[in-house]
Every structure is written in structure tokens, then in C-alpha cells.
Amino acid sequence: MDKNISSKQVLNDMISRHYKEALEAKKSGELVAWATSIVPQELLETMDIKVVYPENHAAVLGARKDAPAFLQNAENNGYSNDLCSYARVNIGYANLKESAAGNIPMPDFIFCCNNICNTVIKWYENLAREMRIPMILIDTPFNHTFDVPEHSVKYIREQFHHAIGQLEQITGKKFDHDRFQEVMNISTQTARWWKKATALAAAQPSPFNGFDLFNYMAVIVCMRGKQEGLDLFKLWAEELQGKIDRGEGPWKDQPEKYRVMWDGIACWPHLADTSKILRKNGINLITSTYPDSWTIVYDSDDLDAMARAYSSNYANRNLAYGAGNIVQIVKDFSLDGIIYHSNRSCKLMDFRQYEVQRQVQEQTGVASVIFDGDQTDPRAFSLAQYETRIQALMEMMEQRKNERPGGQ
């Protein structure tokens, strides 16, 4: 990799190449899969199948302010506006197939894993049915116990085997187990470096610049099993370490006053506004629950460990884990506050949010605030309300800082 190119440039280049290559592959007759964001992509990568991630694509359309037409289309076709807006954007896109903000090829089959939520099952089933294409489902039952129970591990592992058979049938090719080991290896390493880079945000001041996390996330979603993904996170970590060594904070023109985490998905259509208001108040967003979500690591010869890793996404784990995870983040990153995005789309994330907030507050005393929004539907957000809540959070954090000895 050219040393003079920044990781940001590499990132942007990789993402546009990712979409371009997928479109070209489709044109030349290669198979394309649509997959959920935390799928065992190792299986697809091993088979050399081009994958696009509708959640990521929906986020891109949202950020480029092109979501409304697709939301409307899905709603016109009878989908309730209570349905997750990623699903509505994607269902609208599957119908309209054209966005000025960026296109993806139509799928030849669907690859779905419900470790993020159960909405995806029906959403993808509908797509598969309407397009008359096969769907592979990896069902990861919700973990009501703190750890993933052994029976779930077995159940998921057997589904991996089954999915391999389905993939062989769809592609007409044999599954290459040596290549599988290689991909598992790269995927685990990429995840480790993602974790390493995002953990560097804990430095004081943090080398992270506000919403960096949400940008780099695209690569951990779309390119976890690829060498280029791994290289990117190494480069990013190097840059961040350089900033830490030089004592550089997030901004050149103002110091980092408060450090917060963001719980939930960004408000893509309002990304600039939401981040501007944080910055105006000296608030640096340095982490979220995302670093851990994609830290899918396991030994490459151990399918049970891989099954456990895919089932261990925090959204698939119980309340005690959810709250404990955030308590740990507060400590590790020396946070002053937490912003909880009560996301109209994502019932799963909202469902336990109040209780998580209460438990985290009780255990850490850290200031926090909940605001209403949506990840891609621009209609479910009020900037004035957001601003009042963020400013009130800043005032609480300020008060607590002033009360600490030395005011720090």
C-alpha cells in the first residue's frame, strides 16, 4: 500500500470499488448475494461470490439523502412505516433498481443471519419470494443465558454445514476447505485489527474524529474476509497511533472537552447536523457498541468457535450482557456521557434501551440522554429536540467536571 495515501482515501476508494466490482460481476454473469451485516461471510468469500450488504447500501442512500423515494415506494406497496427503514429502503430499491446515490446489482440468492434481529428474516424472505431466488438462513437463537449455550452452538454449526451444501448446489462448485481456512484466518485477523484500531480511541485526547467510526464501519461490514480490509485497519491503527504519539486530539481548532459513546445506529440523513451539534458543544464521539459487534474472532480450525462468535453479537445476547458491555465501555474509554439513539426503526435496539440506561447510570453514574430519531427515515427526527437534549447532556457533563477536584 502506498504510504502517502491516507486510510480515509483508501477507505473511500475501497467502498466505491466494492460497489463497482459487484455491478461489473453481475454484468459478466457472476453470482451475486445479498447478505445481512453480520453474516458468516467466510462461506461466501470461500466460494468467491460477490456480496453486497443492503443495510450498508441503505445507509449510503440515507446519508446521500436519497432514501425518501425508496421509503415511499415500499410504503406505497403496502409496507408499514413502522417497519425498519433499512428494510423499507431496500425493498423500495429492489423494486425501483435505480438510485442517483449509488447502485447495487440484483441478487441471485439471499444469505441471511438473524444474529442482528428477526426483522431480517421476513424482509429477506419477501425478497427471495418476489424475486424467486433461493434464500439461505443461518438461524442464531437469542441467548437468554449469559453465554451461548452448547445446544445453540451445535445447531448453528450444523447449519454452516447445511449452508455449504446449499452453496455448492447454487454455484455448482465444490467448497474448498483449504481456502475456507485461509478466509477464516483473514476474517479473524481483520476483526482483531478493527478492534485494535477502534480501541485506540481510548487515548486522551482521543485521536478519533467524531463520526470516523461510522465511516470505517463500512469496511468491516463489507470486506471483513478480504486482505484489503485487513490492510486498511492496520493502516488506520498506524495513523491513529501516530496521532496519539503526537498528542493530537480530534480537532485542530478546539480541544476535546467531553467524551461520549453513541448507542445505536447513526441518523444517516442528518449525519452532518448531528455531528456539528456535538462538535459545537466540544463533545467527541469516540465509541459505540459497534467495535465489539464485528469483533468476530475464533480459531480458524474450530467451527464451534465460529458458531459461538456469530451468536455472540451483543444484539443477540441478554440484558445482563448488554448493560455490562456498556459499563465496561464507559470505564475503558473514560467516558463522560452516553447518547442513546432511540431509533424508530430498530425495535430490537430500543426494546431494552431504557433499562440498559438505568443500569448503566446506576453502576457508573455517567450522564446520559436519549433522543428520538431514525437511521434512514429523515421524517422521524427533530433537529431542535436533538440539540436541546445534547446541550442538556453537555451541561450535565460540565457540572460533573466542575465538581471533580481540579475541574478535570
Partner 1 sequence: MFLGIDIGSSSSKAVIINAQLEILGKAVFNTGAGTQGPEKAVGAALREAGISGDEIKFSVVTGYGRMTYDKADKQITEITCHARGAAHMIPSARTVIDIGGQDAKVIRLDKDGKVENFVMNEKCAAGTGRFLEVMARILDCSIGNLSSLSENASEEIIISNTCTVFAESEVISQLSSGAKRENVAQGAHKSVAKRVAGLGSRIGLAPDVVMTGGVALNKGVVAALEKEIGQKITVVENPQIIGAIGAALYALETASKLS
- Which residues form the interface with ligand SF4 (CB under 6 A)? 55, 84, 86, 116-117, 119-120, 265, 345-346, 348-349
Q: Are 155 and 175 in contact (CB under 8 A)?
A: no
Partner touching 117 among partner 1, ligand SF4, none, CB below 5 to 8 Å by kind: ligand SF4
Q: Give residues with Cβ within 8 angstroms of 250, minimum separation 6.
A: 205, 206, 207, 208, 209, 210, 256, 284
Partner touching 388 among ligand SF4, partner 1, none, CB below 5 to 8 Å by kind: partner 1
Nearer to partner 1, 131 or 396 (CB): 396
Which region, judged by CB under 8 A, interacts with partner 1, from 81-89, 182-190, 313-321, 382-390? Answer: 382-390
DSSP letter string over 153-191? HHHHHHHHHHHHHHHHHHH-S---HHHHHHHHHHHHHHH
Give me the least distance between CB of 350 and ligand SF4, in Å please.
9
396 is an interface residue for partner 1 by CB under 8 A: yes
Please give the helix or strand (H or E) that residue 217 lies within, else none: helix 212-222
**Which of 160, 171, 391, 401 is the binder for partner 1 (CB under 8 A)?**
391
Give me the least distance between CB of 249 and partner 1, in Å please.
25
Partner touching 387 among partner 1, ligand SF4, none, CB below 5 to 8 Å by kind: partner 1
Phi, psi of 279 (to 5 degrees): -60, -40
Q: Give residues with Cβ within 8 angstroms of 257, minimum separation 6.
A: 281, 282, 283, 284
What CA–CA distance (Å, rounded) separates 26 from 158? 30
Which region, judged by CB under 8 A, interacts with partner 1, from 39-47, 312-320, 332-340, 386-394? Answer: 386-394
∠ CA 366-370-371, nearest 5°, is: 145
361 is an interface residue for partner 1 by CB under 8 A: yes
- CA torsion 11-180-121-134 (nearest 10°) is 110
363 is an interface residue for partner 1 by CB under 8 A: no
From 158, 159, 136, 156, select the one nearest 148 (Cα to Cα).
156
406 is an interface residue for partner 1 by CB under 8 A: no
∠ CA 359-365-370, nearest 5°, is: 65
80 is an interface residue for partner 1 by CB under 8 A: no
Give me the least distance between CB of 119 and ligand SF4, in Å please.
4
Partner touching 354 among ligand SF4, partner 1, none, CB below 5 to 8 Å by kind: partner 1
Hunting for cell 485461509 — which residue is that?
182
319 is an interface residue for partner 1 by CB under 8 A: no
Long-range contacts of 138-143, Cβ-Cβ distance < 8 Å, separation of 24 or more: 138/39, 138/40, 138/111, 138/112, 138/113, 138/114, 138/163, 138/310, 139/114, 140/113, 140/114, 140/115, 140/310, 140/311, 140/316, 141/311, 142/316, 142/318, 143/311, 143/312, 143/316, 143/317, 143/318, 143/321
351 is an interface residue for partner 1 by CB under 8 A: no
272 is an interface residue for partner 1 by CB under 8 A: no
Residues 217 to 246: which contact partner 1 by CB under 8 A?
Answer: none
What interhelical angle do 383-403 and 271-280 show, nearest 10? Answer: 30
279 is an interface residue for partner 1 by CB under 8 A: no
Partner touching 334 among ligand SF4, partner 1, none, CB below 5 to 8 Å by kind: none
| Parallel, antiparallel or unpaired: strands 135-138 and 258-263 | unpaired
Per-residue DSSP letter, 78: T
Nearer to partner 1, 130 or 395 (CB): 395
Give me the least distance between CB of 390 and partner 1, in Å please.
9
Give me the least distance between CB of 371 and ligand SF4, in Å please.
17
**Which of 368, 375, 377, 386 is the binder for partner 1 (CB under 8 A)?**
368
Nearer to partner 1, 254 or 399 (CB): 399
Which region, judged by CB under 8 A, interacts with partner 1, from 31-39, 167-175, 254-262, 379-387? Answer: 379-387
Nearer to ligand SF4, 43 or 346 (CB): 346
384 is an interface residue for partner 1 by CB under 8 A: yes
Partner touching 257 among partner 1, ligand SF4, none, CB below 5 to 8 Å by kind: none
342 is an interface residue for partner 1 by CB under 8 A: yes
What CA–CA distance (Å, rounded) separates 220 from 96? 28
What is the greatest pairwise CA distance in the chain?
68
Contact residues: partner 1, CB under 8 A: 342, 344, 354, 358, 361, 367-370, 372, 384-385, 387-389, 391-392, 395-396, 399, 403
